[in-house]
A = this chain, B = another copy of it.
């Protein structure tokens, strides 16, 4: 698994790529593949979100199945596991990607979703003569825009090698983590780390405030040593400024933690830290901040503390 298969050279101009899900992240990512010279066929539930891509030469399809029928490799980047089920497996017969997949077609689901669903999709893709990878990402909207995402892939190494040149247009760190579902599991590892970082940053900053410290001066002392983290460096200053604008939505993070806790329960492993943080994020959503950024955890912690 740790040996990176060599990418299979590809002529982007000979490749038709399907893209389903042109939200904040998807639209940047699909744009990079247009830039690379691919022919692009797109589908989004709300068609107007795809317009910037259409204006740049992408073609629009009427269903996920149609995208699949016209593409060599189809990417999906939607919101929730239920959306993945809908666009890949089809709510009604013949509407999902798998029902339109060409022989040899490759489906790449980049949504953060359930490992078991990734396994099911990989099996069903094989049954129709195709292949599937799960390839969730971290790095957020900025990483999508700058093509600096970390892409965590599950699937077979031959399919991975074929998609690798495209992944390299989307991200900086692209690693095959194992068979189907391994990409999703790796993303869960990522989110367990993020969850703990967030509670640490919020509790630390609240303590600093209560102790009467100058929080910005405190960050000078604690940011570069053993207490340092991406969250502290990037979200700490936003929290200090009271900026809760979303880099990553609370409601999506809650979904990710729910998947991780559900998988943990299935594997019979207790993760008390993650369980605590996920409960606090339920409180964040309860207070009306589902569409704020994850740093809004500070709001719930302050409410809890009567401030």
A: which residues have CB within 8 A of B? Answer: 1-2, 115, 138-140, 143, 150, 152, 173, 175, 177-178, 182, 185-186, 188-197, 199-201, 203-208, 210-214, 216-218, 220-222, 224-232, 234, 248, 260, 263-264, 267-274, 276-277, 280, 304-305
Contact = CB atoms under 8 A, between A and B. Distances in A.
Contacts of A203: 192, 196, 271-274
Contacts of A212: 178, 182, 185
12 contacts: A138-B226, A150-B225, A186-B221, A190-B227, A195-B200, A196-B196, A197-B227, A199-B272, A207-B263, A207-B267, A207-B271, A276-B276
A188 to B, nearest CB: 6
A248 B227 CA distance: 13
A222 B276 contact: no
A272 B230 CA distance: 22
A270 B178 contact: no
Contacts of A226: 138-140, 190, 194, 230-231, 234, 248
A188 B211 contact: yes
Contacts of A248: 226
Contacts of A188: 207, 211
Contacts of A140: 226
A114 B230 CA distance: 29
Contact of A193 (B190, B217, B229): B229
Given A143-B225, A200-B197, A276-B272, A177 B304 contact: no
B197 A138 contact: no
A194 B228 CA distance: 8
Given A150-B221, A217-B1, A272-B280, A227 B193 contact: yes
B269 A277 contact: no
Listed from nearest, the 6 A-B pairs whose CB atoms lie closest are: A196-B200, A229-B229, A193-B227, A199-B273, A185-B211, A192-B204
A225 B178 contact: no
> Which of A115, A191, A216 is packed against the most chain B CB atoms within 10 Å?
A191
A152 B221 contact: yes
A182 B227 contact: no
Contact of A175 (B217, B229, B269): B217
Given A207-B264, A211-B115, A221 B190 contact: yes
A198 to B, nearest CB: 8
A4 to B, nearest CB: 9
A193 B182 CA distance: 29
Given A193-B204, A274-B203, A218 B269 contact: no
Contacts of A274: 203
A139 to B, nearest CB: 6
A122 to B, nearest CB: 15
A207 B192 contact: yes
